[in-house]
Amino acid sequence: VTGDGTNDAPALKCAHLGVAMQSGTEVSKEAGDMILLDNNFSSIIQAIETGRLLSDNLKKVAIYLLPG
């Protein structure tokens, strides 16, 4: 869920992932899990892709370090 106003705060708090806009109110920023600094929705997709890449690489490192 994305939001930028005080009225969006309850939805941001209850969502699995609440994304507040940087231009939004302080209430919405505190209620959200993430603040979108550039107010560009494509940044959400980029963050998810980066997180997945990081997760995959950590799994590879763990498998490499564990003795076979």
Q: Domain range holding 14?
A: 2-65
pLDDT confidence of residue 29? 94
Q: Which residue type is seen at 67?
A: P
Kindly give the pairing relationship between strand 34-36 and strand 2-3: unpaired
pLDDT tens digits for 14-58? 999 999 999 999 999 999 999 999 989 999 999 999 999 999 999
Other C-beta atoms lying within 10 Å of the C-beta of residue 35: 14
CATH code of the domain in which 50 resides: 3.40.50.1000
pTM: 0.71
Q: Kindly report the backbone phi and psi dihedral angles of residue 66, in degrees, each rounded to the nearest multiple of 5, phi listed first.
A: -80, 130
**Looking at the 3D structure of the chain, how many domains does it have?**
1
Find, among 46, 43, 34, the residue nearest to 24 by Cα.
Answer: 34
Residues whose CB is less than 8 angstroms from the CB of residue 44 and which lie 6 or more positions away in sequence, other chains included: 19, 36
